[in-house]
Amino acid sequence: RADLAVYGITDNPVLFSQQSFDILIAGGGTAGVALATRLAATTSLNIGIIEAGDLIQPGQNALVDTPALTGQSFTNPNLSWGFTTSPQAHVGTRTLDYPRGKMIGGSSGLNSMAWVRPPRQELDVWQRLGISSRWSWDALLPYMMKTENVSLGDSSAFPGSIHPSGYDSNVQGRTGPIRVGYDNTFSVQRPYIQSILNAGASLNQDPENGTNIGVSNSQHSVNDLTGNRSYATTGYLLQNQGLRNLLVLKQAMVSKVNFTKTPAGILNATGLEYSVGGTIYCATASREVVLSMGVLQTPQILELSGIGNKTLLQSLGITTLVDAPTVGENFQDHVSVPTTFLLKDPAPLTLDALEFNSSFAIEQQQQYLDNHTGFFTMLPTYSYHPIQTFFSQDVPKLIDDTRAELENRLMSPFQKLQAEIQLEWLQNFGIGQIEMAPFSGGIPGLPVPLESGRSYISIVAFAQHPFSRGSVHARSQSILDSPIFNPNIFDFDFDRTMLSMGIELAQLIAGTAPLSDLIETIVNPSPGSDLESYTTTTLGLEYNGIGTASLGPQNSGGIVSDDLIVYGTSNLRVVDASVIPLHLSSHIQSVVYAIAEQVTV
Ligand SMILES: Cc1cc2nc3c(=O)[nH]c(=O)nc-3n(C[C@H](O)[C@H](O)[C@H](O)COP(=O)(O)OP(=O)(O)OC[C@H]3O[C@@H](n4cnc5c(N)ncnc54)[C@H](O)[C@@H]3O)c2cc1C
């Protein structure tokens, strides 16, 4: 097979349309870039990617590179799509921001870099949903390892940790494209860790080995050689720029998948339609088309291409090619609530000091430039806990209440099965229900504002297995109109209860020595305030959305088969976070990369 006439990265839509591709990928994000680069490097297939965002070169934008600046890019229109939810009925009609990466590398260039391995049980349970063991822990582990290059670093700073001597090369990858480091800069995280252990949490020396319960030295997708983010662009694409069978078109919007129909009525994807500056172009693929546009836009493009709920498509004036009522349904994400505590003066140095102590900020900037370490590389520590660890007395009532809530609901068989599994998990000591993450510093925008010149610790609780299910659907026939996105937050009271427990747990940790010795007072929620209204105004999503083009049998609501092919088509595949059927007690980028790594064509 001849190589492409042009390869690398281009912004020329005409040149792109003239190439002979075997495979076209819509969306050059986390999964899209990982998949394209692997396929191009290991096969002779000609691969094209169409990405709406730009290429951000290493060193070009500190908001992408610098760990401690994570969060500042979330609403930056040059880097993020900046989606907003529909008004949320159960939280006072609030709308919430929902950032998604808009650049080559997608959300891997925007995210908070937590690198977490999900637990074995939570992947293996997919088989109960009718999904093949091809997606089990044992099957995915080699790919989770293949994507990572874990650097041991100096983790002796972490209280109680035996790394690197506890490092297990049977489960940790050492040669993959994404550089992963252990945290090595701690400020108030250190007393926090001692306090959460003193409050009853366990220490986990080996969280990558199938059980992630307890406190461990956290990993992040940060390159310890540069102190910068490691992501799909730097790890996969820029390392493979010489591949003559890979071409990326940047700053172009995919607007539709083109199909022909076989005599048997099966759709055959022939290529993609895309627009640049209002002009429509087409590129063709002789073998297959892959959708990797992420959890909100993959279902949107399916619908715009005629695959979705027939009634909805009719209302938008779109001809239905495959009636697939569950496209865009089954959305799940973790929900979170923050607490903040004012530290006594003189306080330990926190990230707040970068704002009010200019000599410290200059010193840290220099350390970051010289040694690639220090406060500019600092990210939150995270840990996972079953509710039994801290709230065992509440579990029986919680289960009864949730069961009663479920009995009154109209649910699809797929949802019912998921809910049954989640109920069982409430009695399972190996399933994390609450993630706790301490941030060294205050969080702006909460009801009680930050006092300048003072230092804080913030503790955020994240519910890992909400029962609520949301949806995302096309708003119109145009890809330029953002989809209607309803995460349906707190549709189940269970989810609210989890966050109330999270606030209680944060207060327990902050009230336990040695952290308690450092704290002057709790600031948010303010003492005596109404917790329900506090949670309503301050809750957030964790941006780990999944499930909108789910793996699963077609007759129970799955959109893609075990090989990720969309039902009703012969060669349209979805490879991104949309295919994950049931939420995991972990951040998910490591799983998204592994899914892309596992695809063979
Ligand atoms: C703010 C934030 C923080 C997060 N924090 C963490 C974390 O700390 N740890 C963790 O593990 N996970 C985290 N996540 C989740 C994780 O990053 C994502 O789940 C994962 O990156 C999703 O990968 P994806 O391939 O599904 O989609 P993406 O990486 O989002 O890729 C989709 C790509 O498609 C492109 N695209 C969309 N529509 C079009 C179109 N019409 N035409 C052309 N291109 C298009 C987008 O621009 C994007 O590049 C976070 C996510 C966000 C957004």
ipTM above 0.95, yes or no: yes
Question: Dihedral sign, CA of 107, 486, 472, 122?
Answer: positive
185 band by pLDDT with thresholds 50, 70 and 90: confident
Residue 206: the pLDDT is 87
544 close to ligand 1 (CB < 6 Angstrom): yes
Residue 154: the pLDDT is 63
- Compute, in angstroms, the gap from residue 30 CA to the centroid of ligand 1: 6
Residue 54: the pLDDT is 98
51 close to ligand 1 (CB < 6 Angstrom): yes
Residues annotated in the binding site for FAD, as ranges?
254
Instruction: Tell me the pTM.
Output: 0.98
Residue 183: the pLDDT is 82
Instruction: Please name the residue whose Cα sits nearest to atom 2 of ligand 1.
Output: 111
* Alpha-carbon gap, residue 353 to 361, rounded angstroms: 7
Residue 155: the pLDDT is 60
Instruction: Please name the residue whose Cα sits nearest to atom 35 of ligand 1.
Output: 27
Q: Residue 554: what residue type?
A: Q
Closest CA to 338 of 192, 433, 442: 442
Mean pLDDT, residues 111-138: 97
- Give the H or E element holding residue 461: strand 456-463
Q: What six digits make up the tokens of 136? A: 């089990």
53 close to ligand 1 (CB < 6 Angstrom): yes
Instruction: Please name the residue whose Cα sits nearest to atom 15 of ligand 1.
Output: 544
Instruction: Please name the residue whose Cα sits nearest to atom 1 of ligand 1.
Output: 111
Residue 226: the pLDDT is 94
- Across-strand partners of 459? 339, 438
Residue to mutate, 55, 144, 293, ligand 1, most ligand atoms under 8 Å from C-beta = 293
156 band by pLDDT with thresholds 50, 70 and 90: low
Residue to mutate, 16, 24, 30, 472, ligand 1, most ligand atoms under 8 Å from C-beta = 30
pLDDT in tens, 52-94: 999 999 999 999 999 999 999 999 999 999 999 999 999 999 9
Token look-up 């297939």 returns 45
- Compute, in angstroms, the gap from residue 188 CA to the centroid of ligand 1: 30
Residue to mutate, 37, 69, 107, 300, ligand 1, most ligand atoms under 8 Å from C-beta = 107
217 close to ligand 1 (CB < 6 Angstrom): no
Ligand 1 atom closest to Cα of residue 27: 34
Closest CA to 148 of 228, 232, 212, 68: 232
